[in-house]
Amino acid sequence: MVDAVEELEKRRAEANRRADEFRDERDRLNAQAREWAERRMAVIDELRAKSGEAQLHRHERDALNEGVRDEKRARDESNHAFETLSEKVAELKHTRQSRAGGVPLWRLRKELKELEFKHMTSSLTKESEGRLLSEIQRLQREIRVQEEAFHQDPEVDQAMREAENARVAAEEHHRLVGELAERAQREHESMVRLFEEVDRLRREADEAQAKLLEVKAASDEAHRKHIQCIEEVRDLEKMLYAARAKASGLPEVLEPPKEEDLFARFKKGGKISTEDLMALQKSPR
């Protein structure tokens, strides 16, 4: 009978040892699970921040693109106004020149352009070049005289000013189109970079979640085995109590008084589970 008691005590000690190992393993895995959960939450927080920043760049890009469309419409309107006013100016000049006689301004400009081209591209003698330059200067003087005369005419002057204003406005709208388009492109590139970062963070969060589930499953398995060992210890304690009672000649009972057994284990420095501690708290003693 003594051998049976010793064998049961060895088995109980072994079961307690395994229970402690599984408990330690469970606690270690739970700590890992907390770390993975914290890491996942940190990644999600960063993901949300970058996603919000990307959305701001998207809104700014869209607003700039709308500005580009508005400036293009304004540029087209100014170009159309410039063309219309230029035709009006040409018609007024033609009318005034027809009344005054003389060579039309457009023809003077054409002749001047041809002579300037000839001067730049032809090989001339000094004498021929002198005559050519004199003719160029004459045409330039006539053009200035006619332009000044046109500015003295209120109707022509007003039409010329309106045409010039339309041209300047068209150029300004064109400049703004380029500027806004460039800014929109920068916003778009920033948005794309951030969304790429968001995708990377989303994959990282998914990996952390998968790892968290993996560690949690291992922790649950360790906890299950810990409980299984605790139950094995309880069964062995029942058997050990009965064996001791039989060896002492006491009446055999099915189960030892739980609180007495737990108090005895506690006094001897033995390990007890959380469930055992709860049982002690509920004990009327």
For the stretch 178-182, contacts whose Cβ atoms lie closer than 8 Å and that sit 24 or more positions apart, written own/partner, are: 180/64, 180/65, 180/67, 180/68, 180/71, 181/64, 181/68
Structure-derived torsion over alpha carbons of residues 228, 232, 234, 237, reported in degrees to the nearest 10: -160
Does the pLDDT of residue 80 top 50, yes or no? yes
Helix%, strand%, coil% for the chain, nearest 5: 90, 0, 10
Mean model confidence pLDDT for the chain = 84
Q: Tokens at residue 15, please?
A: 């079961």
CA-closest candidate to residue 258, choices 119, 275, 248: 275
Residue 120 in any domain: the answer is yes
Q: pLDDT above 70 covers what percent of the chain?
A: 81
pLDDT at 60: 97
CA-closest candidate to residue 234, choices 16, 39, 18, 21: 16
Which tens digit of pLDDT belongs to each residue from 112-148? Answer: 888 888 888 888 888 888 888 888 888 888 777 777 7
pLDDT at 149: 67
The domain tally of the chain equals 1
Residue 268 in any domain: the answer is no
Structure-model confidence comparison of residues 157 and 40, the more confident one: 40
pLDDT at 35: 96
Domain with 173 in it: what CATH number? 1.10.287
- Assess contact for 180 and 68: CB atoms under 8 A: yes
pLDDT at 282: 46
Residue 75 in any domain: the answer is yes
Which tens digit of pLDDT belongs to each residue from 30-69? Answer: 999 999 999 999 999 999 999 999 999 999 999 999 999 9
pLDDT at 263: 45
- Assess contact for 184 and 61: CB atoms under 8 A: yes
Model pTM score: 0.61
CA atoms within 13 A of residue 76's CA, in its CB half-sphere: 5
Q: pLDDT above 90 covers what percent of the chain?
A: 53
CA atoms within 13 A of residue 52's CA, in its CB half-sphere: 6
For residues 15-44, give the mean pLDDT.
Answer: 95
pLDDT at 252: 52
Does the pLDDT of residue 92 top 90, yes or no? no
The DSSP element (H or E) to which 8 belongs, if any, is helix 2-100
* Chain center to CA of 131: 70
Sequence-distant (≥ 6) Cβ neighbours of residue 169 within 8 angstroms: 74, 78, 81
Does the pLDDT of residue 18 top 60, yes or no? yes
Q: Residue type at 135?
A: E
pLDDT at 157: 83
For residues 189-195, give the mean pLDDT.
Answer: 97
- Assess contact for 283 and 259: CB atoms under 8 A: yes
- Range of the structural domain that residue 150 is part of: 23-219
Residue 227 in any domain: the answer is no
Rounded-to-integer distance, Cα 279 and Cα 260, Å: 11
- Assess contact for 35 and 215: CB atoms under 8 A: no
The confidence band for 281, taking pLDDT boundaries of 50, 70 and 90, is very low
CA-closest candidate to residue 74, choices 225, 212, 175: 175
Taking each helix axis from N to C terminus, what angle separates 126-152 and 2-100, rounded to the nearest 10 degrees?
A: 90
Structure-model confidence comparison of residues 99 and 119, the more confident one: 119
Sequence-distant (≥ 6) Cβ neighbours of residue 251 within 8 angstroms: 245
pLDDT at 93: 75
Which tens digit of pLDDT belongs to each residue from 205-254? Answer: 999 999 999 999 999 999 999 999 999 999 998 888 888 888 776 555 44
Q: Which residues of 231-240 are buried (b: 16+ CB within 10 A; e: fewer)?
A: ebbbebbbbb
pLDDT at 275: 54
Rounded-to-integer distance, Cα 73 and Cα 274, Å: 78
Structure-model confidence comparison of residues 159 and 220, the more confident one: 220
Residue 230 in any domain: the answer is no
Residue 9 in any domain: the answer is no
